């Protein structure tokens, strides 16, 4: 990430109070601004003396704080000016790009002077790890598609999980069996003789990024190394998902279901933790997907997850255990302004 700033027109006010400031003095001044610590008159006089400034010149602590407060509340221009004073003595009135490193403090500023006045961006202010900074609040744009991204090179919204715990709420003929997986830990095993199924529901959270695609995935494993494949190698496991989705707040009815699946070769390692994933939604959905454009906060996705050992694509000869069924979705990392549609007004 790069910080680009123009020298603000407040140097005169600062320098008229403090006189000609050397780079060392400026570093101290910046440190005082960032840490907002108390400093005694003696410390001020000693520093002025070391910098060749008249030691009899009185600069009171509250006077320094007054200077520090100039315009800082609105846009931190004083901090920017001090940074520029320290680093751009020969390049006044030019743009300055400062690389952001891992130990710098990120703060939100409004891009009111940029093309999109509604946007916000992360601006980096130079910061020492030893400094303590406390913010009462951070205000972000309420519009959809806004939020906190990751990766300064190629920014994108991060992934999160909607969790689907596998459990049997009411006994049915096609239930998997709760059996010993390892030690005294039990998990649901899916039969190699008959079809087994479980039912899950996913509620779309308010940090879901509108229009983004979601992916459904299973976590599974085996307690015996499978040999159902050719020449005794591990066979394939096919997990299928029948799904239907509807918006909340009385906006839609649940439509006809769609069915998709993931076929994954078992591991040659006993108890290996497997994860198989398939894309469940798209803006131009196939017959086995739901429409990403319909997804929004408070929508509900109903899923039947099943395994049919009679399917020719499933060649396991040892039972698989299903641990979890989750949904990967992209998160804005913030909630919505409203709790009901329109969520973003």
Mean pLDDT for the chain? 77
Q: Are 320 and 265 in contact (CB under 8 A)?
A: no
CA angle 307, 308, 310 (to 5 degrees): 155
Residue indicated by tokens 């020449």: 231
E strand spans, the chain? 2-5, 96-99, 105-110, 120-125, 159-162, 177-182, 185-189, 196-203, 215-221, 236-246, 258-265, 274-279, 281-282, 290-291, 300-307, 321-330
Q: Are 103 and 6 in contact (CB under 8 A)?
A: no
Q: What is the tens place of the pLDDT at every residue in 129-183?
A: 444 566 778 889 999 999 999 999 999 999 999 999 999 989 999 999 999 999 9
CA angle 324, 302, 187 (to 5 degrees): 20
Task: Compute CA distances 176 → 64, 171, 185, 192, whole Å.
Answer: 72, 10, 16, 11
Q: What is the tens place of the pLDDT at every residue in 293-338?
A: 999 999 999 999 999 999 999 999 999 999 999 999 999 999 999 9
- Joined together, the tokens standing for residue 230 give 């050719």
Whole-prediction pTM: 0.65
pLDDT of residue 2: 37
The ranges assigned to domains in the chain are: 2-125, 159-330
As a whole number, mean pLDDT of residues 189-211 equals 98
Q: What is the tens place of the pLDDT at every residue in 56-67?
A: 444 454 555 555
Q: What is the dihedral of CA 249, 253, 257, 260, to 10 degrees?
A: -30
pLDDT of residue 229: 97
CB count in 10 Å sphere of residue 32: 20
Q: Is the pLDDT of residue 345 over 90?
A: yes
The CATH code for residues 159-330 is 2.60.120
């Amino acid at each position: 990430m790069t910080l680009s700033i123009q020298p603000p027109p407040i140097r005169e006010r600062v320098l008229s109070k403090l006189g000609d400031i050397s780079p060392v003095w400026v570093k101290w001044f910046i440190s005082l601004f960032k840490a907002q610590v108390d400093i005694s008159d003696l410390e001020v006089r000693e520093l002025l003396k070391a910098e060749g400034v008249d030691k009899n010149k009185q600069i009171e602590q509250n006077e320094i704080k007054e200077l520090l407060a100039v315009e800082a509340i609105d846009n931190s221009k004083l901090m920017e000016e001090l940074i520029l004073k320290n680093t751009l003595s020969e390049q006044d009135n030019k743009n300055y790009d400062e690389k952001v490193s891992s130990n710098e403090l990120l703060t939100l500023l409004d891009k009111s002077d940029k093309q999109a006045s509604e946007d916000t961006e992360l601006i980096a202010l130079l910061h020492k790890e030893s400094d303590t900074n406390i913010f009462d609040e951070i205000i972000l744009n309420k519009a959809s598609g806004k939020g906190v991204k990751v990766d300064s090179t190629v920014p994108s919204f991060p992934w999160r999980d909607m969790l689907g715990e596998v459990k049997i709420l009411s006994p049915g003929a096609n239930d998997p069996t709760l059996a010993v997986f390892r030690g005294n830990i039990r998990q649901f095993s899916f039969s190699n003789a008959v079809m087994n199924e479980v039912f899950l529901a996913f509620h779309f959270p308010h940090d879901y990024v509108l229009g983004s695609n979601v992916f459904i995935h299973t976590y599974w494993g085996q307690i015996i190394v499978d040999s159902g494949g050719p020449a005794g190698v591990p066979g394939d496991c096919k997990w299928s998902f029948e799904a239907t989705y509807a918006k909340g707040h009385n906006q839609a009815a649940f439509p006809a279901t769609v069915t998709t699946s993931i076929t994954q070769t078992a591991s040659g390692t006993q108890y290996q933790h497997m994860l198989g994933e398939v894309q469940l939604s798209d803006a131009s959905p196939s017959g086995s997907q739901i429409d990403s454009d319909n997804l929004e906060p408070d929508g509900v996705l109903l899923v039947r997850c099943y395994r049919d050992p009679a399917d020719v694509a499933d060649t396991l000869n040892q039972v698989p255990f299903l641990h979890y069924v989750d949904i990967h979705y992209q998160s804005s990392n913030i909630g919505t302004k409203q709790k009901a549609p329109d969520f973003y007004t």
